[in-house]
Amino acid sequence: MVEKAEILYNKPMKTTIKAKTWKAIYRLLDKVSPVDYDCGSLCNAACCTYSGDFDEDEMGIYLYPGEEKIHDFSADWLDWTVESAEDFEFPDSWSGKVYFVKCKTPPLCPREMRPFQCRTYPLTPHITEDGVFMLIYNDENLPYKCPLIENKISLNESFVKATYTVWCHLLRDPLIYDLVEMDSLNRQSRL
């Protein structure tokens, strides 16, 4: 009985986002950048190389449901951990495996394989109380300051458009919608 429960507990999450869709998302976002120059030169690539008071174990990047399907677990540039969604602050609908990764040689990584979260930063999705989806600057409590956010540097329209398009698609997946909705409600409750 216990064995069966453990097997169910550790199942991958059921997502509607297929591997080929994740590949297409990566390809689309490969074509755009937040700005036309290497913004890492403004901050020593702070979002890749941060350090500080945060617990190292809490600072991995989680992959969105199904994103792991297009990654190679044996690739030498990433460290992987597989956790249970129930052990973290994910929505109740998230049940099963969540994949966390840490790059080993930041800020260097195979650009075409960097995780989704790295591709869309410094924007993050938000759903208003009226159910309207929008992109806002990432407002997570992070151990570094992003000059693009702090100085309100204007972002490339192509980057904003591509990120918006991708999020509109991802929000059709119930698990991803639940996560964005939960984050949005938490954000509203802090205002």
CA 57/CA 35 separation, integer angstroms = 30
Contacts (CB under 6 A) with ligand SF4, residues 46-75: 46-48
CA 27/CA 54 separation, integer angstroms = 32
CA 84/CA 100 separation, integer angstroms = 10
Contacts of 76 (CB under 8 A, 6+ apart): 104
Contacts of 117 (CB under 8 A, 6+ apart): 61, 62, 64
Q: Which of 63, 96, 114, 180 binds ligand SF4 (CB under 6 A)?
A: 114
- Residue 54 parent element (H or E): none
Q: Which of 12, 60, 91, 107 binds ligand SF4 (CB under 6 A)?
A: 107
Mask for 140-159, x = binds ligand SF4 (CB under 6 A): ------xxx-----------
- Does 122 engage in binding with ligand SF4 (CB under 6 A)? yes
Question: Of 38-46, 52-60, 68-76, 171-179, which segment contacts ligand SF4 by CB under 6 A?
Answer: 38-46
CB of 1 to ligand SF4, least distance (A): 41
Contacts (CB under 6 A) with ligand SF4, residues 85-104: 103
- Ranges of beta strands (E only) in 53-177 are 61-62, 78-84, 97-103, 123-127, 133-137
Q: Which of 28, 30, 33, 45 binds ligand SF4 (CB under 6 A)?
A: 45
CB of 142 to ligand SF4, least distance (A): 9
CB of 89 to ligand SF4, least distance (A): 21
Q: Which is nearer to ligand SF4, 61 or 171 (CB)?
A: 61
> For the stretch 115-148, what's the b/e string if a residue is b when 16 or more beta carbons lie within 10 angstroms of its beta carbon?
bbbbbbbbbbbbbeeeeeeebeebeeebebebbb
Q: Is the dihedral of CA 44, 46, 48, 53 positive or negative?
A: positive
CB of 5 to ligand SF4, least distance (A): 34
Interacting residue ranges for ligand SF4, rule: CB under 6 A:
39-40, 42-43, 45-48, 103, 106-107, 109, 114-115, 118, 121-122, 146-148
